[in-house]
Structure 1
Amino acid sequence: MKPSLHPQEEARLRELHRYGILDTERERDFDELVEIASAICEAPVSVVNFIDEGRQWFKAEVGLGVRSTPIDTSLCGHVILEGDFVEIPDTLQDERMADNPLCMGDEGFRFYAGAVLRAANGLPIGTLCVLDYKPRTLTEHQRRVLTVLSKHVMRELNLRLALAQEQTLRREVDHRVKNSLASIGALLSMKARRAADEAVQHALEDASIRVRSLSSLHAELHELEKDELVDLHSLFGRIESDLRQLLPDDLALKIAVVGDRATPELANGLLLIVNEFVSNSVKHGQWEQGGAIDITIATQERAWSIRCRDAGGASAEDAARAAEARGLGTRVISSLASSLDAQIDWRAQDDGMVLEVAALSPAA
């Protein structure tokens, strides 16, 4: 007999598909559960299966050797229409299964016991079941174990669903934060261009550089998985593009990255150093036509360094003041170097200022 559809079949299928478990690879977490069920219940066959439209699909199985079978011959398709636990001592004595090809002949399944897998809303989506080739019954202990194992299946599925929902929410929040930072940065830049007072203009430009750079960092960080490193080429490609929009047309900026990735903490520190150096150069440099700011960031497996150079006409006195961290920007850079366990060197060279920061000890 072909199983009837569940009274809430559309809602049941929506709930099943919400878990995203169908057609996934085999996993040890589920394989171990069917192995335990088979061993405790002394049954040659045990499966975790889900009743999809037109088929039943097996996430894990012992003794079956297939991943899906048609719904027309599904034993579990009948079971999900009943209570939480169904035991059939002899399938050939059950009118729903007596004519089922899977139950007939010498190789047919004569015994079935299954615990229904129910979603949080109570709708059945599948079963954890055991089968045997001879009529029999389970002990009360075996029934209890099968029920407990079925709850473990659903706890695992619900945990995965909750994590997926949390990640979706985090991505949405991160996307909105990134867009908000970009919008604020653009607004500050627009205000700076309209400001009549030069001091106000510089302050707004500084704020715009910082906010837009944080937006670029955020764009990189929100796409990272746990413990993943930041792609420095991608990050500073964004930063260079953003900063160029804020610099005078005749001032060139070039950021070169030697190496690949860094921890989020180091990437953030490097970003802030670049921000402060560029901001100071624009504010205090004596720029001529064709001026340039060049930055090189180098990361190796256990070390890092950053070299910033401008052509803004700095003197030895300017370098000394920077080394003493008298201004806000140089204080920020000094603090960052200290927090990153790095040494810092300011000096006037040729026609500009040079800043070098390098790790004192191997980077983690």
Structure 2
Amino acid sequence: MASEGSIREASEAGNGRAELPYRLRQQALMGAFARMALQTRDLDALLQRASELCAEALGAACCQVLEYRAPDHAFVIRACTGLRADLVGTDVTAGDEATPSSYAFRTGAGVLANGIHPRSGQGKPRQGAAEPDGARLHLPEGLAPADICHAVNVPIALGDESRRAYGVLEAWGREGHGFDRADQEFLAGFAGLIGIAVERHQGDARLRDALDHQVQLTREMSHRVKNSLGVVAGLLRLQARDAQSDEVRHALEDAGARIATVAEVHDHLWRGIHQLGMVDLAEFLRELVAKLQEEAPGHRLACQADPKVISADQAIPIGLVVTELVTNAVKHAYPQETGPVQVALSVKAEGLRLTVRDDGIGLPPGFDVSMRQRSLGLKIIASLIRQLDGRLSTEESGPGAHFVLDIPLT
């Protein structure tokens, strides 16, 4: 009885290869693919590289990755080596179970078929599943080169609960070089890595879809909140017009302006958000000042802002502070005339610096912004600044009032 060593030596002589270096090279190429699979999210590039490495590892003339599409009951060539590059993306029927790929996909087991022909087909598969009586295998007509006569196929299984197969990994060989069981096991290991990569790609796609859906829901919610707040602000303005007292009218107008500021933030959230719950602060402040300009005819309101994306939780109190300070300047800075009010936002290493200044009569003598104020507007500003963990100060630089708000970035 021949020993295992003599059998291996005979096999090596028949294949014209040294078995140990051949298997070591296969393991090295599989390790290289595993590293690539961990480093890239480009599935097309990954599948193409898989076909190239498998062909190299098996000394195969051709290798391809087939994805099964259930609606068409067909395989789609996702990547191939040794075939024309323009075949990628074309369909191959999965209904002909006499082809090794269809047989492997149906049975869920590897298929090793040596001595077959691309068209006539005289070989039989060797695999664990039961084979139908009289089955003969052939390679797809018009796809495989005429001198191909060996094939090894393994299903590419996904690791989810359904245990469904993604498709088939297939290698073809020419006359004089057949595949053996160890080649099939190598290909099965490679298919396992492909399955993991495909499953991760599909999971990423599902996660992106879920995030896109969440963004759409947030936009819709913000749009509805913005519309509701706009209605409330409009009702307050209408009520202010009918007020008999100037004090009541001003209070209602101020309340409407504050609500409109919150609505403006929600308007930015639904119209275009960089990330979920984020606001482009520069764009928001410019539009806010433009709306405040509509309420202050004759005054010249201007805004300069460095670009910065922040959370809506920070944007709302910042917008309310700007509304209060600008409204205060419009009301009190120019008692007998109109004048400019400037809003500026700069991004510093330590955070944001927001300034609101006018060229009016200036602040009352002895005014200290850090002391408790009687004005409702200043009380609101103090509360908002605590919410922002900021610091409000005044500067004496030229005419008028000059407020400076420093806000740390979280």
Normalising by structure 2, report the TM-score.
Answer: 0.62
CA deviations 1:307-359 (Å, max 9, x no partner) are 21135644234842x3325332331354266x35xx54225776642112347
Residue 224 in structure 1 maps to residue 224 in structure 2: no
Mapped contact 2:325–2:356 kept (Cα < 8 A):
yes
Structure 2: gaps spanning 5 or more residues: 1-40, 118-122, 125-135
Q: Supply the AA of the counterpart residue of 2:91.
A: I
Aligned to 1:14: none
The counterpart of 1:240, out of the listed 283, 286, 289, is: 289
Mapped contact 1:240–1:254 kept (Cα < 8 A):
yes
Mapped contact 1:56–1:71 kept (Cα < 8 A):
yes
**RMSD, matched Cα:** 4.5
Mapped contact 1:273–1:336 kept (Cα < 8 A):
no
CA shift for structure 1 position 201: 0.5
Mapped contact 2:356–2:403 kept (Cα < 8 A):
yes
Q: Supply the AA of the counterpart residue of 1:66.
A: A
Q: Where do residues 104-115 of structure 1 align in structure 2 (5 Å cutoff)?
A: 104-106=145-147, 108=148, 110-115=150-155
Residue 324 in structure 1 maps to residue 371 in structure 2: yes
CA shift for structure 1 position 121: 10
Structure 1: gaps spanning 5 or more residues: 1-23
CA shift for structure 1 position 84: 2.9
The structure with the larger Rg is: 2
What secondary structure does 1:85 align onto? coil
CA shift for structure 1 position 49: 3.4
Kindly tell me: are residues 315 and 207 of structure 1, through their superposed partners in 2, closer, same or farther at Cα, counting changes over 3 Å?
closer
Aligned to 2:85: 66
Q: Distance in 1 between matches of 2:284 and 2:401?
A: 24
Q: Distance in 2 between matches of 1:275 and 1:138?
A: 77
Mapped contact 2:343–2:356 kept (Cα < 8 A):
yes
Aligned to 1:138: 181
The counterpart of 2:259, out of the listed 182, 202, 208, is: 208
Aligned to 1:305: 353
Report the identity percentage: 10
Kindly tell me: are residues 276 and 130 of structure 1, through their superposed partners in 2, closer, same or farther at Cα, counting changes over 3 Å?
farther
Mapped contact 1:46–1:63 kept (Cα < 8 A):
yes
Mapped contact 2:230–2:260 kept (Cα < 8 A):
no
Mapped contact 1:255–1:294 kept (Cα < 8 A):
yes
Q: Distance in 1 between matches of 2:92 and 2:153?
A: 19
CA deviations 1:258-297 (Å, max 9, x no partner) are x333554897365454234235445666655434421012
What secondary structure does 2:405 align onto? strand
Mapped contact 1:192–1:200 kept (Cα < 8 A):
no
What secondary structure does 2:210 align onto? helix
Normalising by structure 1, report the TM-score.
Answer: 0.68
Q: Distance in 1 between matches of 2:265 and 2:379?
A: 18
Q: Supply the AA of the counterpart residue of 1:110.
A: H
CA shift for structure 1 position 224: 3.0
What secondary structure does 2:393 align onto? strand
Kindly tell me: are residues 72 and 332 of structure 1, through their superposed partners in 2, closer, same or farther at Cα, counting changes over 3 Å?
same
Mapped contact 1:314–1:351 kept (Cα < 8 A):
yes
CA deviations 1:200-235 (Å, max 9, x no partner) are 514532432331232145247733389xx9644433
Aligned to 1:50: 67
- Alignment: residue pair count: 329
Q: Supply the AA of the counterpart residue of 2:383.
A: V
Kindly tell me: are residues 249 and 32 of structure 1, through their superposed partners in 2, closer, same or farther at Cα, counting changes over 3 Å?
same
Residue 97 in structure 1 maps to residue 146 in structure 2: no
Aligned to 1:156: 200
Q: Distance in 1 between matches of 2:104 and 2:274?
A: 40
Mapped contact 1:128–1:150 kept (Cα < 8 A):
no
